[in-house]
Homo-oligomer: A and B are copies of this chain.
Amino acid sequence: MPSESDFDLQQFLPYLLNQAAEQASLGFQTLYKTRYGMLRTEWRVLFHLGRYGEMTAKALCDRGRLHKTKVSRAVAKLEGRRFLQRRTVPQDRRAEVLALTAAGRAAYADLHAQAQVFDRQLTAGLSPAQDQALRQALVILAKL
């Protein structure tokens, strides 16, 4: 049909983004899932605490663009697995400071290294210019 545009689902950006994100997530999630039994939010919480040091759940929410209910559950699970500890602070007894344990730091170091390897593998099929253009565009689209 020449009068109809050639618009195709595979050119529709939300579809393309979704398919690419799914492919990328599937690969990496097996790492934190099989090695440490973590879900996505738990990996993100572990990452932020490992990368930026101890902080409250509120700070985690702000830094990680995570809702407080997600953080609350992820923290409880990471605590249960001895990857982090809570510490109350006298200044404000509503909040608790979250810090990784030695086991948590080890898991972070492992996953952090794996993430870098994985990231490089993902973009192995792209030229450096393509890689850079991709990330720039994604930052804009993600409104980061």
Contact = CB atoms under 8 A, between A and B. Distances in A.
Interface string A81-94: 00000000000000
A65 to B, nearest CB: 8
Chain A interface size, under 10 / 10 to 19 / 20 to 34 / 35 or more: 35 or more
A2 interface: no
Interface in A1-52: 5, 7-25, 27-28, 44, 47-48, 51
Copies of this subunit = 2
Nearest to A14: B24
Interface stretch (A69-77, A99-107, A111-119): A111-119
A21 B134 CA distance: 13
Contacts of A142: 16, 19-20, 22-23
Contacts of A112: 7
